Structure 1
């Protein structure tokens, strides 16, 4: 059993960060940009790094142990150090994205497999798991046993395009579940996006809007430390997320249809739609791709709205927001928080 204690790395110190990056590069790995805590184990006599790991919020990542030190209990030291840090932050549930070849390594530390693809594996550990989370969701949102349609949306912000897509699903199904991506990687915070979607669908009595929870993965936080090539990473992300949705959400909540909007522009969303087409039929789920609602011969999209919001005196210059946004979103933009977000967007764009 290795006795050296893990040391905390000051990621704001360029020299300390570069030392970790150099060690990872030796194993064809990188230090993901979103890590917020890193520890290392050093060779006592030489003071050189022989192992490291990091976390980004509750995701453990960027593991590497020198080949000659493997099998000496260092992995246990690293995981214990990260779990202790999570506990100190009041976090009692964590994930690991890793290579499929490492499943046994982390299973030995009570990490439970969620799903594995040829490129990536996702495991979890903590006070709850995906099955118990979905059972709690069913109870809290009074989700029945009948067949359902589902949509997953970011709504950054909620537009008439989102509303139209939900209305199309609502017209053709007895019950529709709309999952709003809970991960805060967007201009508009989750609470605001969720509120806009709830109010923007209030007229649809067979629609329920739900938080997505932790198990719908964001491309923004998908790991790159062992999948550095962008195309490889995109393929792995879309396949894993689509599989988790089919394997768990659809089975537990009796979802038999999923609706998406056609995507002519965004490469990530287009790839994700293609992954859904390929994966969901394996779980008895049919994908419906709906033509996007247009205005002035272009799809109504959240990115289009954000571009408009970057411009000063929007109403005076364009007068078009009421053609693109439902009243719920327009009302939010007039609120103090909405004004702050627009000001922040304008400030960031002026600095570019």
Structure 2
């Protein structure tokens, strides 16, 4: 959509062209290439954005100015030399402020060069932090003061220190740093890094973990995070881990904020930090602290990282995340703080569900391309459902880790019912993952029990423990699966669980271990499961005869696999209202079990 501005561009020959503005699609290589050229001419780069606009010569379609929003931060404001007398930067910022207001963003920040200070101040911004090559301003004049007043309310007597911590998630190394630091001060403040889209663990999760970890430490206070300390606003390069020329400026701005506003409010005279042997950007940040903070009267104390006892490896959150996402769950659990362990188990469970959802294309199932044979679901809804289930998986892991005996089935069932309600709330009443919640929750409880009691977490023990847990549950009477069980006499979800998911351990898991490093392995696993599972979802939708044909079609495609044929099958199943949801659940469960078992 083009919107005419009140500006005219005067060309050297005297012609006057109207200037229009429009939103720039963030998925368009063509338009983004134009933006990147303009940014390069202005000595800027393009960080991740969620909104971008441009101003164009209406006659030639030449990009004259641009600007964007990354969260609540205005970025990428640039104007071509031919249009710098027209105040297009001011018009861009006004449009972005309007967009931010419509999106409910109460405080907008901006990074810019020092020479642009007057322009932004004239538009209602005020200075928050400054570095040699950049300044940071914000639009809400009271926002920083409110946060400083909050910090002032936390003041303690004596010598006070601070740690700014992302804890994504909290590790045994973080606990070591906290304990060494609190020994050296009368009171220690831990400032938790605010939320940002690059963190694997949400702010709420990280806050809950840290709160539990420090609750018995009488000289430690957990401080709420903000945009004013190592946030995506003050230090975006920290989260994308790219050391560049702009990183030094981000470091300087962030430390200026800490020294000028945060430290005085808390009466902090010592800043503690762990040594950084791996990450170049974090090491540069540490060096910046040593260089800049002492000039502001703040002592920087760098504590050597805690090392793994059996290995000469430092424990770090980045290494833990790499182990977790790389299929080395037990290694990640070994490095985690005890308070983080249930959350890590939960991440492993939701990651398996997410892997199934991301697999695209899939026959009749929701994926990135379409909603499959579902009129009430889409990819975004399924993601919301998975996020909601994470809370229940975390609670299941907590319950299973606090008893030397098998977890109480009544308690697990209650958590499951609460989880189902959370799922339905997130999906506005759509049953997206009820079967997956039962299967994954049961298997998660069994795996956590084995890990907690230090029994071997191998396939034999896990299958047996799942079967023992499932034996305690009663058969529900009001589900589609129960109806199909009575109508066709086929095994339902509980029957499969009571065998310890024998088909999974005997067929699908060995198949996956053999195929996982080959091309199209996940597609082949899904088709193998479809060809061998009695899927009550398919039976419920199309009956016994067509369900048998679905198994045959999956077997044929597995033996003659091409993506084109898979896409064609997807179209057929969408048209015929066939959705192999049971196979999808078993695919996710197979991936989870493969990640947790030691053999």
TM-score (norm 2): 0.52
Relative to total residues, which structure has the larger helix share, 1 or 2?
2
Counterpart of 2:114 in structure 1 is: 100
| Residues 20 and 58 in structure 2, CA contact (< 8 A), matched pair in contact too | no
Q: Distance in 2 between matches of 1:23 and 1:201?
A: 49
Residue range with higher mean Cα deviation, 1-10 or 56-65: 1-10
Q: Corresponding residue for 1:302?
A: 317
CA contact (8 A) 1:93 1:128 kept: no
Match of 1:131 among 134, 145, 150: 145
Q: Residues 112-168 of structure 1: CA distance to partner in whole angstroms, max 9, x if unpaired?
A: 1112211221111126332322213444xx434654210011111101110111111
**Alignment CA distance shift 1:329-1:93 (3 Å):** same
2:105 is paired with a residue of what secondary structure?
coil
Which is strand-richer, 1 or 2? Answer: 1
Asked whether the equivalents of residues 73 and 110 of structure 2 are also in contact (C-alpha less than 8 Å), the reply is yes
CA contact (8 A) 1:51 1:66 kept: yes
Q: What whole-Å deviation, never above 9, does each CA across 1:257-307 have from its counterpart, x for those lacking one? A: 111111122111111111001111122111111121111222111122223
Is the partner of 1:46 in helix, strand or coil?
Answer: coil
Per-residue Cα deviation, 1:88-120 (whole angstroms, up to 9, x for no partner): 100021111111222122122121111221122
CA-CA distance at 1:342 after TM superposition: 7.3
Please name the residue that 2:349 is paired with.
339
Root-mean-square deviation (CA, aligned residues, Å) is 2.9
Secondary structure of residue in 1 paired with 2:108: strand
Matched residue of 1:122: which SS?
Answer: strand
1:58/1:95 contact within 8 Å kept = yes
Corresponding residue SS for 1:51: strand
Using a 3 Å threshold, how does the CA distance of structure 1 residues 344 and 128 change in structure 2: closer, same or farther?
A: farther
1:208-260: per-residue Cα shift (whole Å, max 9, x none)? 11232011134798468xxxx95422222222211211111111211111111
Higher relative contact order (CA 8 A, sep 6+): 1
Task: Count residues in correspondence.
Answer: 339
Q: Distance in 2 between matches of 1:294 and 1:342?
A: 30
Q: Which string of whole-angstrom CA distances, capped at 9 and with x for unpartnered residues, describes residues 304-332 of structure 1?
A: 222332354744xx6x834x323211132
Unaligned runs of 5+ in 2: 1-5, 9-18, 360-515, 520-599
| Partner SS for 1:2 | strand
Structure-2 separation of matches of 1:220 and 1:57:
8
CA distance in 1, matches of 2:351, 2:159: 38
Greater Cα shift, 142-151 or 255-264:
142-151
Counterparts of 2:130 and 2:355, CA distance in 1: 38
For residues 166 and 206 of structure 2, the distance between their equivalents in structure 1, rounded to whole angstroms, comes to 7
The within-5 A match list for 1:1-352 is: 2=7, 4-32=19-47, 34-126=48-140, 128-139=142-153, 142-144=154-156, 146-184=158-196, 185-218=198-231, 222=235, 230-295=243-308, 296-312=311-327, 314-315=329-330, 321-322=333-334, 324-334=335-345, 336=346, 339-341=349-351
- Give the whole-Å Cα distance in 2 for the aligned partners of 1:338 and 1:207: 31
Q: Per-residue deviation at 1:173?
A: 1.6
C-alpha deviation, 1:337, in angstroms: 5.0
2 CA distance for matches of 1:344 and 1:201? 32
Corresponding residue SS for 1:294: coil
CA shift for structure 1 position 343: 6.7
The answer (yes or no) to whether the contact 2:109–2:233 under 8 Å persists in 1 is: no
Deviation at 1:81, TM superposition (A): 0.4
Given that 2:156 and 2:187 are in contact with CA atoms closer than 8 Å, whether structure 1 keeps it comes out as no
Counterpart of 1:242 in 2: which secondary structure?
A: helix
Gaps of 5+ in 1: none
Alpha-carbon offset, residue 48 of structure 1:
2.0
Distance 1:8 1:130, change over 3 A: same
- TM-score of the pair, normalised by structure 1: 0.86
Q: Distance in 2 between matches of 1:283 and 1:143?
A: 19
CA distance in 2, matches of 1:174, 1:120: 36
Larger radius of gyration: 2
Q: Distance in 2 between matches of 1:247 and 1:221?
A: 14
- Say if 1:155 and 1:73 are closer, same or farther in 2 by CA, change over 3 A: same
